[in-house]
Structure 1
Amino acid sequence: MQFAHLADTHMGYRQYGLTERENDFFQVFNQAIDEIVSERPDFAIHSGDLFEYSRPPTRALLTAQQGILKLKESKIPIYAIAGNHDVVMRKNALPPQILYKDFGLKLISPKNPFYLEGNVFIGGAPYTSKYHSKQLVERLESIEKSSMDYEKRILVLHQGIDRYIPYEYELKIGDVPKSFNYCAFGHIHERVVDDFGEGKLAYPGSTEIWRSNEVEGYKKNGKGFYLVDISGDMPEIENIDLKLPREFIKETIFYSKIQEELSRINQYIRSLQKKPILMVTVEGGDLNRSEVYETLNQSLSDFCLAVRSNYHPTSVNNEDNPFENGKEALDIKKMIEHNLNDFNSEKVNELATGLLKELSDGDFKTAETMVRNFYEDLYDH
């Protein structure tokens, strides 16, 4: 028996405020659906963050509906959970996936913690914050008990685990039940496959580049979903790679050779069919940032969808730069926790760290959503 495992499609995300990037996420989702239909698995699992926001734009809702209908027409059931982006973290909040109940999507939720697909048990829970991990662990124990009478058992979760993201996890690896044949996770955007308990624990990763720090992982491991065969004693997992609509290029150039390097980059990007996203780091020299910024944009902006620049000059005055301390960069998370120590609140620390990440990447919409969720969560508890 085979199934497709995908996650973190983040439809509706307008990266850098660009409509073209929003369209890229739609295009990749449609490609994933077409690939699943082509592979004809027995069913599909989506492990959360179908959407970027809990109130997705109309086109995102419509694209998801069309994809789910394609699966239904091909007699491929789909099971899904809500990720942290899919739902406002408050009591009785409903994720947008609930809209597709009549289109064939089976939502795994506290109300319906598991389903049966033939003789396969498919159970799980929606995203749960770190501050409610105790309730999640109790829920997992209950799900595990319900699964024990079935030969094949799949656990579906959207959580970060301390083994993979030690500073931003919601669940400890020791709290994940080990009796399942396959643990279908979402939330981490890099591909991960590990032996775990009686089977495998896997993250298929995001289907598009959601953050610039995913570029290296994409070049090494690709983006897409998994095709999983659970017929044997141990699951067999195949990468199904998707072709991303445009290139996401990261370049480091030296200030002393800036014109030569820009000419090289220009020659390459002009050969591409679609304008790329270009991340440029300029190193060395006693540079004037505004002048370098103008030089980069004049040379590259006509041929790129977006140019994002960063600067590492030769000399930095540490007194004027609180983010540098000798040769070692200051740990931003520790700095925030130190400055907010008077609040004595892990929640505030996590909010501040998350906001720094979103705002530094220019994602004001996600930052706004994080703040709203934070206060709604406080109100409910």
Structure 2
Amino acid sequence: MNFIHASDFHLGYAQYGLSERFRDYARAFHSVITYAIDNKTDFILISGDLFHKRNINAPTYEQAYKVLSLLRQKSPSTAVYAIEGNHDLAFHQDGKSWLQILDSQSLLKLIRLKEANGAKLMGDFVELDNARIFGVRYLGSGTVSIIPRIADEIKKINAEQGEKYTILMMHFGMEGQIRQEASGEIPYNSLLPLKEVVDYLALGHYHIQYELDDWIFNPGSVEMIAMSEYGLSKGFYHINQSDRKLITPLTRPVRRIKLDISSIKIPAELYTRIESKLDREQIIRSDMSPLIELVLYGEMNFPKSEVNIDRIKDMLADRFKPLWSEVKIIRSNLQYTINEGDVRGLTREQIELRVFSDQVKLDGRYQDNVEEIVKTMIEVKKMAAAGIEETAIQKELRWCFEKMKTSLSDNRDKKEVKNQVKNQEPNTRQTLLSHMGDI
């Protein structure tokens, strides 16, 4: 089995209002299709958001049509299977999505939810010699509740049709995979019914790459959709027999530069520091002009209105010749600022764990209970976000408090015993110390 898994191409997105960025997303789509042709893949999975808008314009449709027509011409045996992401869904008054139009022209196969073969949801699936492919469009907040039903229907179909390598395409974000909490995220435990019947869960929606337990895979977008994705892994998967690798094509270069301005007293010093910072940045060697963002963060010691943004942009232009540049000023309390390099690649839960731990450690009274307090803080946050009753949250907090109180009491008892031991005769003290491990 030799296939490609990609998602979130967002064709038609003119990022920053630039026609060059509009073409960049088409180039990214073209690079995946040409890779599939060159590697003679059996099929291509697109797990949602082929388009950036539900109501696309003619040039966007032309981009999709040309690239998919190229595939049909160069490699007619390579099929494309797709589902609708939240950006692809048709407006109610339109009746059809643009993916349905591509389907009607045999440029791809859109897998939809429909009743067929005794299955109410999963009746529309693809039957191959060595694989069975299911698909579910973007369902938003209703995804969690419908997962057990999806699993049951796939189990029934597999039993009736015979077991095969089972692929399921879905479009949602998994809990804890991005730094900002988002609505509609699915916790891992909610997916466990699928694990029993699905070999490869092909996800889309979040634009960063992640995978879990060798059965959940999200390749991310090929191109950058937002600057917040800077430095994070993304691309598309190439699965060839037992070999699986993430392919990251060359795209327009992006550079985010950060400068702490807390020690800068006057604007003149700011420009000097920026110039020095830019001189230390490596030159970007590419045929494509880069996207540059300069982030000035920390406590500002003079009014923001005194900063000449145009002058700073001229400095960026001299150094990088960018297609686009932006200067952001983020004033923050440095006590709570985390360096981007320290958290790059970490999940949101891992970042929360680090932040909560650092804050609890600031109070010396809780040094022996940091782990327990942090676990409770994270659990209470999840309970509150899920709308759990206030009494249940209070019970969780009370349980943590009682455990801390018991721990503090035990520590005081040990300290008192040790003090008593110090006042004993040497021989008696040695005997008592040998039994301290039992306390």
Identity of aligned residues (%): 25
Task: Look up the equivalent residue of 1:204 and give its one-letter code.
Answer: P
Task: Look up the equivalent residue of 1:238 and give its one-letter code.
Answer: K
Distance 2:83 2:184 in 1: 18
Q: Counterpart of 2:311?
A: 295
Q: Counterpart of 1:103?
A: 106
Higher RCO (C-alpha under 8 Å, 6+ residues apart): 1
TM-score (norm 1): 0.72
Q: Counterpart of 1:23?
A: 23
Which structure has the larger Rg over C-alpha atoms? 2
- 1:281 shift after superposition: 1.3
- 1:135 shift after superposition: 3.8
Distance 2:287 2:272 in 1: 24
The CA deviation string for residues 208-247 of structure 1, in whole angstroms up to 9 with x for no partner, is 1111111120xxx3x3211113x4xxx5311222001x21
Alignment map for 1:238-253 (pairs within 5 Å): 238-244=245-251, 246-253=252-259
CA contact (8 A) 1:9 1:207 kept: yes
Distance 1:294 1:146 in 2: 62
SS at structure 2 position matched to 1:113: coil
SS at structure 1 position matched to 2:230: helix
Q: Counterpart of 1:236?
A: 243
Q: Counterpart of 1:321?
A: none
Are residues 249 and 113 of structure 1, via their aligned partners in 2, closer, same or farther at CA, if it must alter by over 3 Å? Answer: same
Q: Counterpart of 1:113?
A: 124
Task: Look up the equivalent residue of 2:98 and give its one-letter code.
Answer: P
Distance 1:272 1:263 in 2: 23
More deviation in 19-28 or 1-10? Answer: 19-28
Task: Look up the equivalent residue of 1:161 and give its one-letter code.
Answer: M
More deviation in 125-134 or 279-288? Answer: 279-288
- 1:93 shift after superposition: 4.5
Distance 2:284 2:107 in 1: 44
Are residues 121 and 193 of structure 1, via their aligned partners in 2, closer, same or farther at CA, if it must alter by over 3 Å? Answer: same
Task: Look up the equivalent residue of 1:183 and give its one-letter code.
Answer: L
TM-score (norm 2): 0.63
Q: Counterpart of 1:191?
A: 209
Find the partner of 1:126 among 137, 146, 166: 137
SS at structure 2 position matched to 1:258: helix
Task: Look up the equivalent residue of 2:188 and give its one-letter code.
Answer: I
The CA deviation string for residues 92-148 of structure 1, in whole angstroms up to 9 with x for no partner, is 943211112233411110135311122310002101011464245424432342234
Distance 2:23 2:89 in 1: 22
- What is the root-mean-square deviation of aligned Cα atoms in Å? 3.0
Find the partner of 2:174 among 141, 158, 161: 161
Distance 1:144 1:155 in 2: 12
Task: Look up the equivalent residue of 2:227 and give its one-letter code.
Answer: S
Distance 2:66 2:98 in 1: 15
Distance 1:204 1:108 in 2: 19
CA contact (8 A) 2:313 2:327 kept: no
Q: Counterpart of 2:86?
A: 84
Task: Look up the equivalent residue of 1:209 and give its one-letter code.
Answer: M
The CA deviation string for residues 179-217 of structure 1, in whole angstroms up to 9 with x for no partner, is 211111111111112225xxx210011011111111120
Q: Structure 2 stretches of 5 or more lacking a match?
A: 115-122, 265-269, 335-357, 360-380, 388-439
The CA deviation string for residues 16-67 of structure 1, in whole angstroms up to 9 with x for no partner, is 2221111111111111111111111111111000010111222221121122
- 1:263 shift after superposition: 5.7
Distance 1:132 1:195 in 2: 21
More deviation in 203-212 or 258-267? Answer: 258-267
The CA deviation string for residues 139-174 of structure 1, in whole angstroms up to 9 with x for no partner, is 443234223423211111111122535643443333
The structure with the greater share of residues assigned to helix is: 2
Are residues 315 and 190 of structure 1, via their aligned partners in 2, closer, same or farther at CA, if it must alter by over 3 Å? Answer: closer
CA contact (8 A) 1:124 1:143 kept: no
CA contact (8 A) 1:46 1:79 kept: yes
- 1:259 shift after superposition: 2.6
Task: Look up the equivalent residue of 2:245 and give its one-letter code.
Answer: E
The CA deviation string for residues 62-104 of structure 1, in whole angstroms up to 9 with x for no partner, is 1211222222230201100000111147599432111122334
SS at structure 2 position matched to 1:103: coil
Please tell me whether residue 201 in structure 1 is matched to residue 216 in structure 2.
yes
Count of residues paired in the alignment? 310
SS at structure 1 position matched to 2:287: coil
Task: Look up the equivalent residue of 2:287 and give its one-letter code.
Answer: Q
SS at structure 2 position matched to 1:242: coil
SS at structure 2 position matched to 1:61: helix
SS at structure 2 position matched to 1:171: coil
Q: Counterpart of 1:373?
A: none
Are residues 313 and 180 of structure 1, via their aligned partners in 2, closer, same or farther at CA, if it must alter by over 3 Å? Answer: closer
The structure with the greater share of residues assigned to strand is: 1
Distance 1:190 1:115 in 2: 27
Distance 2:18 2:236 in 1: 25
CA contact (8 A) 2:170 2:203 kept: yes
